[in-house]
Structure 1
Amino acid sequence: MVVEGGRWKIAANYDIIIDGCLPPELTLEILLRLPVKSLLNFKLVCKSWNSLICSPDFIKSHTRNSNNPSLTLLYDRDFMELYSLNPTVSQVDLTPQYYPYSEFIGSCDGLICIYSPRKECIYILNPLTNETKKISTPYHEPDRMIRVSWFGFDPSINDYMIWLVVGIRKRNLRIHVYSTKDDNWRELDTSVFIFIDDCMFWGMNVVVMNETLHCWLGNDYNNFMVKYNLVKDIIEIERINLNYNQDIKYSNEPSIGILQDSSLCLCKVNGINGVMDVWKLDQYSNSDFWNKLFRLDLGLPKFVTLLGFTSNGRILVKSSSYELVLVDPNQNPPLQVRLGTIDYHNDRCRSFDLLDYSESLVSPFSLP
Structure 2
Amino acid sequence: MMEESQMYKKLLVIAAVDVIAGNVDLLSEILLRLPTKSLIRFSIVCKLWCSIITGMQFRLSHCRSLAFSNAISPSGIYFYNCLTYQKIISLPLADNATSLPPLPLLDQFINSSIGGDTVTEFKVTQSCNGLLMCIFTASTTRITIKKGIVYNPANGECCLLPTYKKCDQFVYYNLISDPSEPPYYKVLCVTRMGYGYSDIDVSVYVPKSYSWRSCCHFSAPRMAFDSGVFWNGAIYWISKYSSFYFDVKSEKVAEISMPPRPQGGFTQKIRYFGEWGGHLHLIQVQSRYAKKFNVLELDKDTWKWSVKYHVHLAQLISTFPEMVQQTSYGIQYAFSILSVIRGEKEEDSVLLLTIPGKVVAYNLVLKTAKVVRELPGEVVDTVFFNQVCAYQYTESLVPVSEWTVGPEKSSYQQLSKTSEFLLEKGDLLGTSSEYFFKDA
* Same structural fold, with TM-score higher than 0.5 when normalized by the shorter chain: yes
Question: Equivalents in 2 of 1:183, 1:95: separation in Å?
Answer: 25
- Per the alignment, residue 73 of structure 1 pairs with 77
Question: Equivalents in 2 of 1:79, 1:309: separation in Å?
Answer: 23
Instruction: Note if contact 1:138-1:185 (Cα within 8 Å) is conserved in structure 2.
Output: yes
Q: What are the within-5 Å matches in structure 2 for residues 40-51 of structure 1? A: 40=40, 42-43=42-43, 47-51=47-51
- Per the alignment, residue 325 of structure 1 pairs with 360
Q: 1:267 aligns with which of 283, 295, 298?
A: 283
Amino acid at match of 1:93: P
Question: Equivalents in 2 of 1:356, 1:15: separation in Å?
Answer: 43
- Per the alignment, residue 183 of structure 2 pairs with 158
Q: Secondary structure at the match of 2:219?
A: helix
1:91-118 CA distances to partner (integer Å, 9 max, x unpaired)? 5323243465532243445433311225
Instruction: Note if contact 1:258-1:311 (Cα within 8 Å) is conserved in structure 2.
Output: no
Structure label with greater radius of gyration: 2
Instruction: Note if contact 1:95-1:127 (Cα within 8 Å) is conserved in structure 2.
Output: no
- Per the alignment, residue 135 of structure 1 pairs with 161
Question: Equivalents in 2 of 1:231, 1:98: separation in Å?
Answer: 36
Q: Secondary structure at the match of 1:63?
A: helix
Q: How many residues align?
A: 338
Question: Equivalents in 2 of 1:304, 1:366: separation in Å?
Answer: 42
- Per the alignment, residue 206 of structure 2 pairs with 179
Question: Equivalents in 1 of 2:225, 2:337: separation in Å?
Answer: 13
TM-score with structure 1 length normalisation? 0.73
Q: What are the within-5 Å matches in structure 2 for residues 1-368 of structure 1? A: 17-18=17-18, 23-36=23-36, 38-40=38-40, 42-43=42-43, 47-66=47-66, 67=71, 70-76=74-80, 78-86=85-93, 88-90=97-99, 92-96=101-105, 97-98=107-108, 100=110, 102-108=122-128, 110-118=130-138, 120-138=146-164, 144=170, 146=172, 149-153=174-178, 155-156=180-181, 158-166=183-191, 169-171=196-198, 173-180=200-207, 182-187=209-214, 189-193=216-220, 199-201=222-224, 204-209=227-232, 211-218=233-240, 222=241, 224-242=242-260, 245-247=262-264, 249=266, 251=268, 253-258=270-275, 264-269=280-285, 270-281=287-298, 283-287=299-303, 289-298=304-313, 299=317, 300-301=323-324, 302-310=333-341, 314-319=350-355, 321=356, 323-327=358-362, 329=364, 331=365, 336-345=369-378, 347=381, 350=384, 352-366=388-402
Tell me: CA distance 1:317–1:172, structure 2 relative to 1, closer, same or farther (3 Å).
farther
Greater helix fraction, Structure 1 or Structure 2: 2
C-alpha displacement of 1:248:
6.0
Tell me: CA distance 1:37–1:82, structure 2 relative to 1, closer, same or farther (3 Å).
same
Amino acid at match of 2:338: L
Q: Secondary structure at the match of 1:365?
A: coil
Question: Equivalents in 2 of 1:277, 1:28: separation in Å?
Answer: 47
Q: Secondary structure at the match of 2:353?
A: strand
1:244-264 CA distances to partner (integer Å, 9 max, x unpaired)? 54226364534334566x554
C-alpha displacement of 1:164:
4.3
Question: Equivalents in 2 of 1:295, 1:343: separation in Å?
Answer: 31
C-alpha displacement of 1:21:
7.6
Question: Equivalents in 1 of 2:257, 2:41: separation in Å?
Answer: 52
Instruction: Note if contact 1:326-1:338 (Cα within 8 Å) is conserved in structure 2.
Output: yes
TM-score with structure 2 length normalisation? 0.62
Report the more deviating stretch, 46-55 or 57-66.
46-55
Tell me: CA distance 1:337–1:183, structure 2 relative to 1, closer, same or farther (3 Å).
farther
Structure 2: 5+ residue runs without aligned partners? 1-12, 111-120, 140-145, 318-322, 325-332, 344-348, 404-440
C-alpha displacement of 1:294:
3.9
Instruction: Note if contact 1:252-1:306 (Cα within 8 Å) is conserved in structure 2.
Output: no
Greater strand fraction, Structure 1 or Structure 2: 1
1:24-44 CA distances to partner (integer Å, 9 max, x unpaired)? 443223322345455456555
C-alpha displacement of 1:157:
5.5
1:217-251 CA distances to partner (integer Å, 9 max, x unpaired)? 32xxx3x3311110101000122243x54226364
Larger relative contact order (Cα-Cα within 8 Å, sequence gap ≥ 6): 2
Q: Which runs of 4+ in 1 moved over 6 A?
A: 13-16
CA RMSD of aligned residues (A): 3.9
Question: Equivalents in 1 of 2:226, 2:357: separation in Å?
Answer: 21
Q: Secondary structure at the match of 1:292?
A: strand
Instruction: Note if contact 2:64-2:181 (Cα within 8 Å) is conserved in structure 1.
Output: no
C-alpha displacement of 1:206:
0.9
